[in-house]
Amino acid sequence: MRTTKSIDGQVSVIGLGAMGIALAEAFLKDGYKTTVWNRSSEKANGLIKQGAIRASNLSEAVSASPAIIVCVLNYQVVQDLLYPLGSMLSGKVLINLTNGTPGEARELAAWAAEQRAMYLDGGIMAVPPMIGKPESLVLYSGSQDAFQMQQQLLSSLGTSKYLGQDSGMASLYDLSLLSSMYGMFAGFLQAAALVGSAQVKASEFTPLIIDWVAAMLHTLPDLARQIDSGNYRDKVVSNLGMQSVAFVNILRASQEQGIGTDLMVPLKILMDKGVEMGHSADDISSLIRLVRNPSI
Ligand SMILES: NC(=O)c1ccc[n+]([C@@H]2O[C@H](COP(=O)([O-])OP(=O)(O)OC[C@H]3O[C@@H](n4cnc5c(N)ncnc54)[C@H](OP(=O)(O)O)[C@@H]3O)[C@@H](O)[C@H]2O)c1
C-alpha cells in the first residue's frame, strides 16, 4: 500500500468497462490519485465512492496526470477519443491497454510520437478479478523510458513484462497467447457437446478435461523444439498419419451424435494436407508449415 502521493502518484484511467474499472480500483488500492473518465459517466460512480476523481471530460482526464491509461473496446475507439486531443498529450506517458493488432499499436505509437508523448502498448493477460494479483500478467512494449518511469505504477496491476521498443510486440504476444486459449475453448465446446449428446453434464465431465489437458500440456516443449529445429521427426510418439486417422473419428462421432463439426473441420483439412505432403511419419508440429504458409 502506498502511503505518499507524489506527483508521480497520479494516474488517469480512460475507459471504465469491466477492465478499466478493475485497473482503476487497483491504482486506488495502492494509494494513487486516480482520475477517471468514461463515455457513460455513471460507470464511475462506484470508483468515486472509493476515492477516484471524476473528470467531466476527456481533456480534463488527460491534463490531470502524467500517466494516462486507456482501456476501451478497440483501437477505433482509442483513435476517436485521443486524436482530437492532439498535442494535449505532449509530455505525457500514454499507456494503451486496449486489445488490438501489432500494426494498430505501431500506428498509435507513431501518432503519439508526433504529439511528443511517450507511448507504451500493453496486453492484459488476465480477466478483471485477477487484476492486482501476481498471476495477472501485463505485457508491455514501446518506449523503454516510459516503462521504467511508470514501472512502479504498473506493478499495481500485477506482474509486468517488458518486450522491447517495438510497440507491436505486446499485442503480438497477447494475440498469440489468446490463440492458444481459443484453441482450448474450441476443443472444450466440442467435448461438452459430444458428451452432452449422451446427457452427460458439462460440469460433470470438465474435471476429466482439466486433467487431460494438463497432461497434454507437457507435450508442448517437444513440439516447440521440433518447430524451432524444423526436424518434425525428433522423438515422435504420435505420428501425424495415426493422428489424422483417429481425428476423423471425432468428426464421425459428432455426426452420429447429431452435433456440429465446424470447430474441428479446419484442423482435419490441415492434417489431410500434411499427410499428402509426406508428413505422415512426422509429429503434428509439422503442420506449422501449412499454418505459416497457407498457399503451399
Ligand atoms: N474483460 C476482459 O476479460 C479483458 C481481458 C483482457 C483484455 N481486455 C481488453 O480490455 C479492453 C476493455 O475491455 P472491457 O472488458 O472493459 O470491455 P467492456 O466492459 O465492454 O467496456 C468497453 C469500454 O469501451 C468503451 N467504449 C466502447 N465504445 C466506445 C465509443 N464508441 N466511445 C467511447 N467509449 C467506448 C465503453 O464505454 P461505455 O461504458 O460508455 O460503453 C467501455 O468503457 C478491450 O480491448 C478488451 O479486449 C479485456
b/e for 249-266, b at 16 or more Cβ within 10 A? ebeeebeeeeeeeebbee
Q: What is the pLDDT of residues 208-258, one digit of tens each?
A: 999 999 999 999 999 999 999 999 999 999 999 999 999 999 999 999 999
pLDDT at 280 over 80: yes
| 44: number of Cβ within 10 Å | 22
pLDDT at 2 over 60: no
pLDDT at 4 over 80: no
> What pTM, to 2 d.p., does this model score?
0.94
Tell me how far apart the alpha carbons of residues 157 and 97 are, in angstroms, rounded to a whole number: 11
Tell me how far apart the alpha carbons of residues 270 and 289 are, in angstroms, rounded to a whole number: 10
Strands (E), 169-220: none
What pLDDT sits at residue 7? 46
C-alpha grid cell, residue 185 = 475453448
What pLDDT sits at residue 296? 84
- Residue 71 CA, ligand 1 centroid: distance in Å: 6
Q: What is the pLDDT of residues 114-170, one digit of tens each?
A: 999 999 999 999 999 999 999 999 999 999 999 999 999 999 999 999 999 999 999
pLDDT mean over 56-83: 98
The angle that helices 75-82 and 102-114 make with each other, rounded to 10 degrees, is: 10
Looking from the CA of residue 76, the nearest atom of ligand 1 is 31
What pLDDT sits at residue 1? 41
Cβ 157 under 6 angstroms from ligand 1 = no
DSSP three-state, residue 56? coil
pLDDT at 21 over 70: yes
- Residue 112 CA, ligand 1 centroid: distance in Å: 21
